[in-house]
């Protein structure tokens, strides 16, 4: 238990530290790298909690897809610092307001939080012998939270379609097929039969 506690505080501390460095890093590439490191530490916390499936999903989805994609986009775009400072100067107030809001919520939650007297005697986690981690998550996700899972899928689908529509640029000249004109077209207007003599061109 001592090693477990030490590993928990190690991963938790590194997660908070990397999250803080993600916010204060001046270079966008460094922020992306610290974000990847934060996701890896979060996956370590899931492993300590006995949820290997969530840890692998965390690494594959967030680190392998989102963070790496963000890193490549930042490296390809190479935004100028002066331009970014001018554009996001006004938006600095919004994160401060959001931080104050969530900070006040955390204060209220931690201030009124207390243990239930019988909490230590309860064991709500399924036994590893009876059911596996993946099966337990699947049973909960596709039974009790099936509707919310479907709603989240539709939201992501709408976001994907919206991103495609916003980034799509119409071509200058459009060539469309008219099926009615093709069907009603006569052979004599499109095909010309030529009688060519031997060793002579058309």
Give the separation between CA 12 and CA 86, rounded to whole angstroms: 35
Give the chain's mean pLDDT: 78
> Could you read off the pLDDT of 48-61 as tens digits, one per residue?
888 888 888 888 88
Contact 202, 196 (CB under 8 A): yes
pLDDT band at 154 (very low <50, low <70, confident <90, very high): very high
Query: With b meaning 16 or more CB within 10 Å and e meaning fewer, what string describes 136-167?
Result: beeeeeeeeeeeeeeeeeeeeeeeeeeeeeee
Q: CA-to-CA distance for 94 and 42, rounded, in angstroms?
A: 26
> Nearest-CA neighbor of 41 among 64, 21, 16?
16
Domain range annotation of the chain:
1-78, 132-163
Rounded distance, CA 148 to CA 135, Å? Answer: 19
Q: What is the pLDDT of residues 113-153, one digit of tens each?
A: 666 665 555 555 555 557 777 888 888 888 888 898 899 88
Question: Is residue 83 predicted with pLDDT exceeding 60?
Answer: no
Across 49-58, 69-78, 161-170, least confident range? 69-78
Q: Residue 186 pLDDT > 60, yes or no? A: yes
d(CA 71, CA 16): 20
Note the pLDDT tens digit of each residue in 37-46. Answer: 998 999 999 8
Reported CATH class of domain 1-78: mainly alpha
């Amino acid at each position: 238990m001592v090693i477990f506690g030490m590993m928990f505080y190690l991963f938790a501390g590194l997660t908070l530290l990397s999250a803080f460095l993600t916010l204060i890093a001046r270079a966008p590439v460094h922020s992306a790298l610290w974000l990847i490191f934060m996701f890896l530490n979060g996956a370590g916390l899931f492993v300590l909690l006995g949820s290997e499936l969530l840890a692998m999903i965390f690494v594959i989805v967030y680190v392998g897809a989102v963070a790496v994609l963000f890193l490549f986009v930042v490296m390809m775009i190479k935004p100028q610092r002066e331009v970014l400072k001018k554009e996001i100067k006004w938006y600095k107030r919004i994160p401060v307001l959001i931080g104050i809001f969530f900070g006040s919520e955390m204060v209220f939650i931690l201030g009124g939080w207390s243990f239930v007297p019988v909490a230590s005697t309860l064991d709500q986690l399924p036994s590893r012998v009876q059911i596996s981690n993946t099966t337990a998550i699947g049973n909960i996700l596709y039974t009790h939270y099936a509707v919310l899972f479907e709603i989240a899928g539709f939201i992501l689908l709408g976001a994907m379609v919206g991103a495609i529509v916003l980034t799509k640029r119409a071509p200058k000249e459009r060539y469309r097929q008219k099926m009615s004109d093709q069907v009603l077209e006569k052979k004599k207007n499109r095909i010309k039969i030529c009688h060519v003599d031997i060793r002579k061109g058309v």
